[in-house]
Structure 1
């Protein structure tokens, strides 16, 4: 009985670690994307690359909004771990 409780506690800790790692990867990749977008905005503005400034502004605002939504969802919702579905039932 005690072994099963230890296994459950270990699995819960592993699930938390996996959720934390996945959240960190998603947040860092979104932030890296936004940094690259910021650099492209600066470069495009300096070279007068935008022929339709309002359209470019809308595209960048939508991209920033989508990134904010994705980051919020990842940080608020628990990530379902694949190990939870592949774990065999404990013996009686």
Structure 2
């Protein structure tokens, strides 16, 4: 169970980082090519408005598949959904660690 928890935790970290970059890119805080300029990406990630991220999580599926949404809104919605999935993976990893202790 500990091995499963470690794998889930690594996947959670990767999902949260990718989701934050996508959300920041859609929100206009992160540059279009995040791997091209890592310093600008780090600065952009620090400028993400967390209340907007959590508010977008509520309607992330609807915003990602909406035909009326622009490309930036779709990126932001998809990024918020991936961050939400990463947070769920963190909870599952914690439960896995707790199950290993029992």
TM-score when normalising by structure 1: 0.45
Scaled by the length of structure 2, the TM-score of the pair is 0.41
Q: Which has the larger radius of gyration?
A: 1
